[in-house]
A and B are shown apart, each in its own frame.
Chain A
Amino acid sequence: MSDIKEEDWNLPPCKYECEIRPKCYCIISYGLVTNFKMSLFVLDLDHTADIQIHAWGDTLTEAFEQCANAMFHYMTEVDYIEMRESYDIEVEGHDMVTLLYNFLDELLFIFSAEPNYIARKVKIEEFDTTAFKIKAKGFGEEFQLGKHPQGTEVKAITFANMQIHENEGKCEVFVILDI
C-alpha cells in the first residue's frame, strides 16, 4: 500500500462494455458519464457461459486500464468503492496476450485472496511493450460485505478469442471472462 497523490483522485471516463453490441450496456447500468464510441467490430458474440469485455482507449495503456476497471465493475457497483488506499502490482508475460492475461489474473487474485482488494480504478505506471512488463497501481479498498453490493463472481480469465488491436489513436482489447 502507498499514498494516494492529488492527481490520483481523478476518475477516468468509462471506455468499456461487457459485450459487443451497438449500445454500451455497462454505462447504462452503472450510470456513469462517458465518451462512448461505436464498436468497430460487429460480431454475434452472445455466449452462453461467459461474459466478454470490450475495452478501448487512445493508447494501449489506457485500453488495458479500462479492461481492468471493467472487470472490477462487473464484481460490484463501482460507485460504492472508496479510494482509501492504493495497491501496487507487477506482472510480466512472454507476449502481449499473456501480459494482458497475467495482468487481469493478478487483479482477480488480489480480489479473491488476501487482501480482498477491489479497485475503483487501475492506473498503469510503467508499460514495457518490448520486455512485456507492467507496473500498475490500484485505487480502492478491501471488499466488505454490506458496504459493497455483490455483483457476479469471476471464475477465471480465459484466452478464448482474446484480441488486442493497436491502431493509431484507438486501441482495443477483447477478453472473455469465465463466470
Chain B
Amino acid sequence: MVVRPYNEELEYLERKTPFKWEIKKGFQPNMKVEGVFYVNTFLEKLMLEELQNSCRPGMIGGFLPGVKQIANVAALPGIVHKSIGLPDIHSGYGFAIGNMAAFDMDDPQSIVSPGGVGFDINCGVRLLRTNLFEKDVQPVKEQLAQSMFDHIPVGVGSKGIIPMNANDLEEALEMGMDWSLREGYAWAEDKEHCEENGRMLNADSSKVSMRARKRGLPQLGTLGAGNHYAEIQVVDEVYDKWAAKKMGIENIGQVCVMIHSGSRGFGHQVATDALLEMEKAMKRDQIEVNDRQLACARINSNEGQNYLKAMSAAANFAWVNRSSMTFLARQAFAKQFKLTPDDLDMHVIYDVSHNIAKMEQHYIDGKLKHLLVHRKGSTRAFPPYHPLIPVDYQLTGQPVLIGGTMGTCSYVLTGTEQGMNETFGSTCHGAGRALSRAKSRRNIDYNDVLEKLSQQGISIRVASPKLVMEESPESYKNVTDVVNTCHEAGISKKTVKLRPIAVIKG
C-alpha cells in the first residue's frame, strides 16, 4: 500500500458534483480506471476521516480505508467504466462493503472475486405488504412480535423448522424458489416479484463442497444473527404516490413486513472454499493485485466457473431461505388475525439481493457489453422499461429495498435511467456501519438502547443481548443521509419511507 501524508492523498481526490467524488488514477498502483464515490457533506466527513486516520505515521497492517479499497478494486484486471462506492460504503474484506464493479466478460483477462460478493452470498431484503393498518396492529403488537419470534428461528445455533433432508437440499439448490413453490412454501406471484425470479439458472450443486452442504442443511429457514432481522413496519411517508400504488401501498399507516437475511452458513462456506482455491489459482495465472485479500480468478478459468456455479447455488439457497421465512411470517399473521394470508393480502412487493455477482448487459460508450457485475453491499436498481424487471414495475422502475437498522426507518426506492448510465443500475443497500462492534459495546448502554426503542413505540425481541448495543442506530451511518444522497445524486428515487413497530433479531 502506498502511504503518503494526508494532504498529498487529497490531491488524488476531487469533488465532481455536490454528491460525487472522483478518485484519480495513481492513488493506488496500477489503477486501470478511475474510482468514484457518492456522499453528502456529512458522509463525506466520515469517509475522509477514515482516510486521515490511516495516514497517521506508524500505521502498520491495519484496516484499509474505504477509499483505498475502491482504488484497489479499480486496479483489478478487466474492470470497465469505474470502481464505484455507494454512500453507505465502509471498510470490508478485499472489496469495501458498498463497492460495486463490473468486469468485461469478453476480455480473457477479466476476473471474478468472491471478495466482491462477500461471505453472505445473496444476502438481501424482502418486503411483504398487508392490508392491515397501524390501528389494527397496535393493540396486539406485543403478541404479534412474540409470535413472529416464536415462528422464525433466530440467532446463533438455531435450526430450521422446515423439514429438509439431503435430497431436498440438493433440489432446492438447483431450483431456488421453484422448489419453495412446489413444496407449498411460496406463492406463484412471489417469484414474479423477485430478482431473477428467485432462481439462478447456472446453479450447479455438484460444485458445492460437502462442508457447505453440511453447514447449510440445518440452517435453511433461519434468520441468522448480526444485522439480519425481521421487522413489522408501517408506511410513514409516501414520496411517489403513483409508484407506491403500483406496489400495493395505498396509504400512510399501512403495515408491511421486511425480512433481511441471506444464505447462512451455506454461503459462508462456499465463499471460504472459493477463497482458498483462488489463492492457488492466482499464483498459477500470475494475477497481480494490490491487496492479498482481493483473491480472484479469471472468469474463464476452472476456479472462476466453479465459483460462479457454486455462488448461484448459494443464491438459490438464500431465496429458499427468505421464502421459508416469508411462509412463517404469513403463518404468524394468519394465526394472530384468524384470517388467511390471502385475505390479509400478504404479497411480496419485491425481493432484492445486495451481495451478488451477475452477468448483465450494459452500454459502455454506446456499445453493448456483456459484463460480470459484482455488487457487494449494493442493490440492483434498474430503470423503467428494463426487460429484466417484472411487468408490474415496467413503468415505475425496479423497487429497491433499503433496510435500516434496529429502530431506524427503511426505504423503498425505484431505479432510474441516470443510475443505469452512471452505476450500472446500482444503488446503496442500507445504513452502513459507522462504529465497530467493539466500540459500540463499550460506548453504548444496553438499557439506554431499549429505553429509547420503547419510547419510540418499538417492540423488540433479540436472541443475543450483545447485539442490542452492536446494532443500535448510533453504530450506523444515518440511513436517511444515505438514501437522500442516492436520491439527490439521481441514481435512484425515493418512493416510500417505512417505520418499524416491532423488531425480531438474532
Q: Which of B97, B120, B218, B435 contacts A155 (CB 8 A)?
A: B120
C-alpha spacing A150/B467, complex, angstroms: 10
Tell whether, in the assembled complex, residue A50 and residue B62 are in contact, meaning their CB atoms are under 8 Å apart: no
Tell me, yes or no, whether B119 is within 8 Å of chain A by CB.
Answer: yes
Tell me which residues from 238 to 272 in chain B have a Cβ below 8 Å from any Cβ of chain A. Answer: 265, 268-269, 271-272
Q: Is A36 an interface residue (CB 8 A)?
A: no
Tally of A interface residues using CB under 8 Å: 43
Q: Any chain B CB within 8 A of the CB of A159?
A: yes
Residues of B42-89 contacting chain A, CB below 8 A: 53, 56, 59-63
- Pair A46/B156 contact, Cβ less than 8 Å: no
CB distance from B125 to the nearest CB of A (A): 18
Answer whether A48 and B464 are a contact pair too, CB < 8 Å, given A18-B438, A145-B157, A161-B62.
Answer: no
Chain B residue with the shortest CB-CB distance to A109? B211
**Contact indicator A19/B438 (Cβ below 8 Å):** yes
Pair A155/B157 contact, Cβ less than 8 Å = no
| CB contacts between A and B, total, < 8 Å | 127
Judge whether A148 is part of the interface by a CB distance below 8 angstroms.
yes
Q: Say yes or no: A150 contacts B225, CB within 8 Å.
A: yes
Q: Is the CB of A156 within 8 A of B224?
A: no
The reply to whether A112 and B293 contact each other, CB–CB distance below 8 Å, is no
Complex Cα distance, B214 from A116, in Å, reads 11
Chain B residues contacting A114 (CB-CB under 8 Å) are 214, 218
Contact flag A148-B438 (CB < 8 Å), given A43-B60, A105-B272, A156-B119: no
Pair A48/B62 contact, Cβ less than 8 Å: no
Query: Are B63 and A47 closer than 8 Å at their CB atoms?
Result: yes
CB <8 Å contact, B156 and A153 = yes
Nearest-Cβ distance from residue A7 to partner chain B, whole angstroms: 29
User: How does the 8 Å CB contact mask read for B312-331 relative to A, with 1 for contact and 0 for none?
Assistant: 00000000000000000000
Q: Is A153 in contact with B215, judged by CB distance below 8 angstroms?
A: no
* B215 adjacent to A113 (CB under 8 Å): yes
Given contacts A75-B156, A152-B467, A48 and B214 within 8 Å (CB-CB): no
Which one of A19, A48, A109 has the greatest number of beta carbons of chain B within 10 Å? A48
Q: A49 to B156, Cβ gap below 8 A?
A: no
Which residues of chain B in 10-57 are interfacial with respect to chain A, using CB atoms and an 8 Å cutoff? 53, 56
- Closest chain A residue, CB of each to CB of B267: A155
Would A149 and B464 count as touching, CB distance under 8 A? yes
User: In the bound complex, do residue B265 and residue A113 qualify as a contact, i.e. CB atoms below 8 Å apart?
Assistant: yes
B215 pairs with A109, CB closer than 8 A: yes
Is the Cβ of B226 less than 8 Å from the Cβ of A152? Answer: yes
Contact (Cβ within 8 A) B53 A153: no
B214 touches A46 (CB 8 A): no
Q: Which of A111, A155, A160 has the most CB of B within 10 A?
A: A155
Contacts of B354 in A (CB 8 A): none
| A18, B224: Cα distance in complex, Å | 21
- A158 interfacial by beta-carbon distance below 8 Å: yes
A50 touches B265 (CB 8 A): no
The answer to whether B352 has its CB under 8 Å from any CB of chain A is no
B79 nearest CB across to chain A (Å): 22
**What's the nearest-Cβ distance from chain B to residue A159, in Å?**
7
B90 at the interface (CB under 8 A from A): yes
Query: Complex: how many Å from CA A118 to CA B90?
Result: 32
CB distance from A54 to the nearest CB of B (A): 11
A19 CA to B439 CA, complexed, in Å = 10
Q: Does B292 contact A (CB under 8 A)?
A: yes
Contact partner, A163, options B61, B157, B436, Cβ 8 Å: B61
- Is B158's beta carbon under 8 Å from chain A? yes
Residue A13 lies at the interface, judged by CB distance under 8 Å to chain B: no
Q: Is the CB of A49 within 8 A of B215?
A: no
Tell me which residues across on chain B come within 8 A of A145, comparing CB atoms. Answer: 155, 157-158
Assembly CA distance A178 to B93 (angstroms): 8
B166 to chain A, nearest CB (A): 12
Q: Is B415 part of the contact surface with A, judged by Cβ < 8 Å?
A: no
Q: How far is it, in angstroms, between the C-alpha of A149 and the C-alpha of B441 when the chains are bound?
A: 17
Extra contacts, 17 of them, besides A48-B436, A48-B437, A153-B226 (Cβ < 8 A), are A19-B436, A19-B438, A44-B56, A45-B62, A45-B63, A46-B439, A49-B97, A51-B437, A105-B272, A113-B217, A145-B155, A150-B225, A152-B226, A152-B437, A153-B156, A157-B272, A160-B63
30 A-B pairs with CB atoms under 8 Å apart are A18-B438, A29-B441, A43-B62, A45-B62, A46-B435, A46-B436, A49-B90, A49-B91, A75-B157, A109-B211, A109-B215, A111-B157, A112-B219, A113-B214, A113-B215, A114-B214, A143-B157, A150-B157, A150-B506, A151-B464, A152-B156, A152-B225, A152-B464, A153-B156, A156-B119, A156-B271, A159-B293, A161-B61, A161-B62, A161-B63
A-binding residues in B (CB < 8 A): 53, 56, 59-63, 90-93, 97, 119-120, 155-158, 211, 214-215, 217-219, 224-226, 265, 268-269, 271-272, 275, 292-293, 433-439, 441-442, 463-464, 466-467, 470, 506
Q: Which 4 A-B pairs have the closest CB atoms?
A: A113-B214, A153-B225, A48-B433, A46-B436
